Amino acid sequence: FPAAVRVGLNSSILMPIWRDTLSRTMLKSLYVSEGGGGVETMGATQAVNDMLMQSAAGIISLFPVWPENEDASFETLRAKGAFLVSASYSSTKKMIVSPIRIYSEAGRNCTVLKPWPNSSQSISVMEVLPDASKRPVDIQWSERNSFMFQTKVKGVYEVSLS
């Protein structure tokens, strides 16, 4: 399932197959019983994580293949580059709910695929300071519909529609 999610298989095709497989193999303890051991069974968890967020090639992509008709949220999923990301998706609004929160463990550049591709509103990034005040952060756009901003070690950032 992780490979199907990463190549962007439509969730309307993927979800029924995934649910059927889990209903046949999951025990009452919620352990997925597939022969061979633990490595084979972790694919279900990885697939869900990849439906919520992917960070291949250092670009964070939120809800890349999540079903449009299902709400979702996650907190502190690990992204490449030492980032912990929290975000929510609203099925009624058919969009990611603002703000997206990013914690930087290492102070690297953070690149995010535009979370609101159909919005004409601008996007802002704010650093959340220890006293809970916020300071704007400069962002740089790329031609790949993504933006990048510099982070600080242990910095907290909120990405929002302005």
pLDDT by position in tens, the chain (length 162): 677 777 777 777 777 877 787 777 776 776 666 665 554 555 667 778 888 999 988 899 999 989 889 999 999 999 999 999 999 999 999 999 999 999 999 999 999 999 998 888 899 999 999 999 999 999 999 977 899 999 999 999 999 998
Q: What are phi and psi of 80, to 5 degrees?
A: -55, 145
Query: Would strands 146-150 and 109-113 be described as parallel, antiparallel, or unpaired?
Result: antiparallel
Which helix (H) or strand (E) segment is 160 a member of?
Answer: strand 155-161
Q: Where are the alpha helices (DSSP H) in 53-145?
A: none
Give the pLDDT of residue 56.
84
Q: List all residues 6 or more positions away from 69 whose beta carbon is below 8 Å from its beta carbon.
A: 91
Give the pLDDT of residue 8.
76
Q: Give counts: helices (H), strands (E), the chain.
A: 4, 11
Contact 41, 32 (CB under 8 A): yes
Give the pLDDT of residue 135.
97
Give the pLDDT of residue 44.
65
